[in-house]
Amino acid sequence: MRIKHKNHISPTLLKRLETLIKVTTPIKKPGTKKSKDSYYTLACSFDIETSSVMIDGQRQAFMYCWTFQIEDLKISGRKWEEFLKLIDLIKETLEPQSRLVIYAHNLPFEFSFFSSFFTWSKVMAHDQNHIFYGKTDNIEFRCSFALSCLSLAGVGKSLGLPKMLGDLDYSKIRHHDTTLTDKEWGYAFRDVEIVVK
């Protein structure tokens, strides 16, 4: 039986998320007179951890946990269905004609896993391996690496919040039912903590 981490998606965490969004007033983007859209000024990040295996000579990868942080609220999950539940709640909670930006430090990687789950109204990319942002309804996923031009370790170092290196054994095959240690969860959450900071 899988043991849930304290930040695992739950009704309590979802209620806290909903409240955080509702008490925040979106603002107009400075210098834009034509756009009717306003943006939430909530710092927000999303990341996944994956395992890869060889099947019939082909490399296959799958997500075994995801982490999400908005301001100081941290939420995690093990399945895509949980992530989609989170995104649906966010979409329903946002004010009309407002947007929430969710940063992923290597968006093309995450995008390759979740792009088929959403209908995209706009995607800006150099090519399929260099996606800068994608808009689905009132959520924008943006690549923080494209903005910083620094590795996540470099960003963390500049902020005094070092990326946890060597704490996750990538040779170990994990899946959504693999029990993760507090150290492994700490590693997974550090990436979104750095982006939010």
pLDDT at 196: 95
pLDDT tens digits for range 134-157: 999 999 999 999 888 888 888 888
Question: What residue segments make up the domains of the chain, in order of their start?
Answer: 11-23+40-196
Q: Please return the burial class of 134, using the count of CB atoms within 10 Å of its CB with bins 0-12, 13-18 and 19+.
A: buried
Map 96-129 to HEC letters.
CCEEEEEEECCHHHHHHHHHHHCCCCEEEECCCC
Provide the greatest CA pair distance for the chain.
55
pLDDT tens digits for range 80-114: 999 999 999 999 999 988 999 999 999 999 999 99
The answer to whether 62 and 50 have CB atoms below 8 angstroms apart is yes
CATH 3.30.420.10 fits 11-23+40-196, yes or no: yes
Strands 38-39 and 27-28: antiparallel
